Structure 1
């Protein structure tokens, strides 16, 4: 009788453990705008998902839905995560203008160095200044891409070449910069760029090298304009975020897996993937025989001088919103310098 009791107790415990383990298995739906072969999906999101699955012993599974497969437009991604439509999203922060004002400082002209360093700087900055703007989600990483360039049908070798050009910009600040420089900005999410170029809706686009690969930009334009020196023309900013309830409902050990794969190092890894993608994009343009212009010296300085008033104007906007705009700009620059190896 005693042996039977022990057997029944062991069986009951086994059932309880099995049921408990089953209850703690989690499937997270990840939604984003780019095709699966693009840099971030292939080189950052998929490795992140695989690492999370491995470290959770298979108890966290991530279902990846690229190219807006679950519906909506790219600007709706953040709300899909906040509202619990999906569990995880990756998106361009500036697709919802004015909603995350503190982040915009990293989009200002001639701030970005490389994506890895600037991403670490951006994440550290956002942990201090942006938390209140991202309520309703758990941010896994804030990051940026590397130096953005102008990819155009007509050559852009000097400031005056922008006059009359319709150029795609990703965000409010980037569009303001293009207007300041003399172009006609056209705002649109990046997946719309190839068709817009093909149909003549735009004459060119501002994007980094890495995203020219999945969009096949080198097949659509022959000219690419960037800048010599440490600081590139601009950067767009991104957030990889999780619905807060999806995170809160995890058992503590699975929360730790997510926590261990969140933060400044994750931001840096996403940035590093973009840096590596930039190398690939540049090589494809070179092999295609495209014209690649890297503006330097007096011409570069003309662009810097022309764009600088936008920085002052942004700082003044922040002042009106009750934030110290100049201090935010100075801190962003200091953090970028810190992670870029400066003094």
Structure 2
């Protein structure tokens, strides 16, 4: 895992995706769109897709990932697809309801945290296990591979998945310093998913399950003492203004990450004419997933710098201390394997496969 201090923002079209890349496709689509305009040729708008998600429009993921995806779909379709963007749950409901909105057709496309519906997508949880991820690019690629092999016709059989990715290294942001594992005892920390809730309990803290938009109010009112979230979202949530301490983990693996999906209503996708299905397909898959994960992680650096500029206390745990945390986290693995076994899932096999894939893509970088 790269040191977060060295992490600088990577413009969205500057992610290295090798060979015939997503960047190349985007540039080609822009040229094609310009050609339509310059020749005065236009097509009637055939399809409007409603994209619903839980963050404000100015937050990093909507601005740097979802808007880029939507703009490219519109351009590649020659204007025949329009993507209407609805941030901050503007179409109603709560963040945990997003996946069902995509399944039942209330909206056409959603971006959501898979773990907002605890235990519903058990195979995805393998990527959220502690100290599993190395970096967002490699882990997002591994996630897509395992989705296609193990999840497409099981966990996600009722929805059409466009992309699968994870955020950058998870960080502990707290009102009191966390310099050692012992400092976790008694802290009330926001947890994003079921797996991280279990992890925080094993580490001695009390986990409070909250969707990320609720973090700001919970911190300001003293409901929680801190939160585990990546750097990139701290700016939108005003976290560096509400806490003074930030604990990072040295070494090659992060404390945790969170799994996301960009999901489309299955019937809506199937109803598209073949040429517009191809537009969606061309903007789906491993390369898009890696772009999304890398871009989200690329925003960690600028957000971290805000905390630095405020003279907040940034703690980086050394290898010996991290080893204590890794040992304390081991029961999370054993418990998860037993839990998913009851759902007919071979958890240890998934762990082994996920680790092999992450290792493969990490070494390829």
Q: TM-score, structure 2 length as denominator?
A: 0.86
Note if 1:323 corresponds to 2:345: yes
Instruction: Write out the 4+ residue segments of structure 1 that deviate beyond 3 Å after TM superposition.
Output: 21-24
2:57 to 31, 36, 41: 36
Q: Distance in 2 between matches of 1:113 and 1:288?
A: 28
Aligned equivalent of 2:177: 155
Aligned equivalent of 1:193: 215
Aligned equivalent of 1:7: none
Q: How does 1:36-185 map to 2 (within 5 A)?
A: 36-131=57-152, 132-185=154-207
Q: Distance in 2 between matches of 1:68 and 1:319?
A: 34
Unaligned residue ranges in structure 2 (runs of 5+): 1-41
Question: 2:45–2:82: 8 Å Cα contact kept in structure 1?
Answer: no
Larger radius of gyration: 1
Q: Distance in 1 between matches of 2:345 and 2:90?
A: 38
Question: 1:177–1:310: 8 Å Cα contact kept in structure 2?
Answer: yes
Note if 1:290 corresponds to 2:312: yes
**Count of aligned positions:** 323
Shift of 1:295: 0.7
Q: Distance in 2 between matches of 1:285 and 1:219?
A: 8
Question: 1:24–1:251: 8 Å Cα contact kept in structure 2?
Answer: no
Note if 1:206 corresponds to 2:228: yes
2:362 to 330, 340, 343: 340
Note if 1:223 corresponds to 2:245: yes
SS of residue in 2 equivalent to 1:134: coil
Deviation readout 1:165-198 (Å, 9 max, x if unpaired): 0000011100000000000000010000000000
Shift of 1:260: 0.4
Q: Distance in 2 between matches of 1:135 and 1:297?
A: 41
Aligned equivalent of 1:252: 274
Q: Distance in 1 between matches of 2:155 and 2:187?
A: 34
Q: Distance in 2 between matches of 1:34 and 1:241?
A: 16
Q: Distance in 2 between matches of 1:135 and 1:334?
A: 25
Note if 1:236 corresponds to 2:236: no
Q: Distance in 2 between matches of 1:272 and 1:297?
A: 25
Aligned equivalent of 2:7: none
Shift of 1:293: 0.8
Aligned equivalent of 2:283: 261
Q: Distance in 2 between matches of 1:323 and 1:187?
A: 25
Unaligned residue ranges in structure 1 (runs of 5+): 1-20
Q: Distance in 2 between matches of 1:129 and 1:275?
A: 25
